[in-house]
Structure 1
Amino acid sequence: MRAFNLTDHSLDSLKRVDMPVPSPEPHEVLIRLRAASLNYLDLMVAWGRLGSRSTSFIPGTDGAGEIIEIGSCVDGWTVGDRVVPGLMVDWAAGPLTSAAAKRMRGVTIPGSLADYAVVPATSLVPIPDQLTFAEAATLPIAATTAWNAIVTGRVRPGSTVVLLGTGGVSLFALQFAKAAGARVIITSSSDEKLARARALGADLTINYQSTPAWDEIVLSSTNGVGADLIVETIGASTFPRSLNAAAIAGTIFVVGFIGGMELSIPILPINLKTLTIVGNNTGSTANLADAARTMATAAIKPVVDRVFGFEDAIEGYRFLERAAHFGKVVIDLDA
Structure 2
Amino acid sequence: MNFDDIKPEALTTLLKEVVEVPSPVGYYPETRAYLKRKLEPLGYEVTADNRGTTYVRVPGKDHKKVVCVGAHLDTVGLVVRGFNDDGTLRVRQLGGINYHSIEGETCTVLCRDGRKVDGQVICNKHSVHVFEDAKTEERTENTMSVSLIADVKCPDDARALGVTQGAIVSIDPHFQAFGNGYIVSRHIDDKGAVAVALDTLRWLAESGEKPAHDTVFAFPVYEEIGFGGSYVPEGASEYVAMDITLIGPDYTSDEHNVGVIASDAKGPYDWDLTNRLIRIAGEVCDDGKWNTQVCFHYSTDAATANHSSNNVSSAAFGMACLNTHGRERCHVDALVQTERLCRGYVMGLGE
Fold agreement, TM-score > 0.5: no
Q: State TM-score, norm by structure 2.
A: 0.23
TM-score normalised to structure 1 length: 0.24
